[in-house]
Amino acid sequence: MADVHHETVFFSGHVQGVGFRYSVLQVAKEFEVAGYVSNLSDGRVQLEAEGSAGDVSTFVEAIHERMHGYIRKVERTNRRREPQFRGFVIK
């Protein structure tokens, strides 16, 4: 199987208890991406997304645009790897 672009993204700010994960799930439906979004115990939200580099990048930008009032900081790391996800879910 061909490698895909993968990003791990941490969103900080007022990102829990505001429908953030549900909004990310809705945005994911607009892109050819797979992965998940989950709350972390330290108050951040973690996003794992894979697909084409363009789709993943545009997906993360769309999340930031939709939820910008809640996000204080975004930390992104990316790499190429074998696909590990099917579909997009909330964890």
pLDDT at residue 1 is higher than 80: no
Helix (H, G, I), strand (E, B) or coil at 51: strand
Per-residue pLDDT tens digits for 42-78: 999 999 999 999 999 999 999 999 999 999 999 999 9
Residue 64 amino acid letter: H
Spot the catalytic one: 39, 44, 66, 78: 39
Domain boundaries, the chain: 4-90
Region 76-87: mean pLDDT is 96
pLDDT at residue 2 is higher than 90: no
Q: Is 21 known to be catalytic?
A: yes
**CA separation for the pair 63, 22 (Å, rounded):** 11
Q: Tell me which residue has tokens 């973690």.
A: 46
pLDDT at residue 20 is higher than 90: yes
CA-closest candidate to residue 81, choices 50, 36, 35: 50
Q: Does domain 4-90 have CATH number 3.30.70.100?
A: yes
